[in-house]
């Protein structure tokens, strides 16, 4: 369960990072970031936006989530095994039709 969870959540992190990169590229090309910074400059507020810093922060939070959710999955698998041992689990009987 541990390996499968790690692979699944890490692949999910890579998909999110790819989506973030595409999203950032699109809004940067459309000038949305410059527009927001311009509006804040008009209000005499300072905002410095670096895409690399945002991507790094998202990646670090994503790695934290990979570890957290992998641990949660391992714990839930452990609980399931305990309950299955106590209650006997599920028994499925298949019969052939005649």
The reported pTM is: 0.73
66 in a structural domain: yes
Q: Is residue 97 part of a domain?
A: no
What is the tens place of the pLDDT at every residue in 22-74? 999 999 999 998 898 888 888 888 878 788 898 999 999 999 999 999 999 99
Taking the C-alpha atoms of residue 90 and residue 81, their distance in angstroms, rounded to an integer, is 12
3-state SS record for the chain: CHHHHHHHHHHHHHHHHHHHHHHHHHHHHHCHHHHHHHHHHHCCCCCCCCHHHHHHHHHHHHHHHHHHHHHHHHHHHHHHHHHHHHHCCCCCCCCCCC
Average pLDDT (71-78) is 95
C-alpha 59/C-alpha 10 separation (Å) is 10
pLDDT at residue 71, rounded to an integer: 95
Residue 19 has pLDDT above 90, yes or no: yes
pLDDT of residue 69: 96
Q: Is residue 98 part of a domain?
A: no
Report the alpha-carbon distance of residue 15 to residue 52 in Å, rounded. 17
Average pLDDT over residues 17-24: 94
Tokens of 30: 């459309």
Residue at 34 is within a domain: yes
In a domain, 33, yes or no: yes
At 85, the pLDDT band (50, 70, 90 cuts) reads: confident
CA–CA distance, 70 with 3 (Å, rounded to integer) = 9
Boundaries of domain holding 70: 2-87
């Amino acid at each position: 369960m541990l390996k499968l969870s790690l692979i699944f959540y890490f692949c999910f992190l890579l998909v999110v990072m790819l989506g973030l990169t595409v999203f950032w590229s699109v809004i940067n090309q459309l000038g949305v970031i410059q527009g927001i910074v311009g509006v804040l400059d008009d209000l005499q507020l300072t905002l410095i936006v670096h895409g690399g810093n945002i991507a790094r922060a998202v990646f670090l939070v994503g790695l934290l989530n990979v570890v957290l959710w992998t641990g949660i999955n391992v714990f839930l698998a452990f609980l399931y095994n305990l309950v299955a041992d106590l209650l006997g689990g599920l028994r499925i009987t298949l019969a052939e039709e005649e």
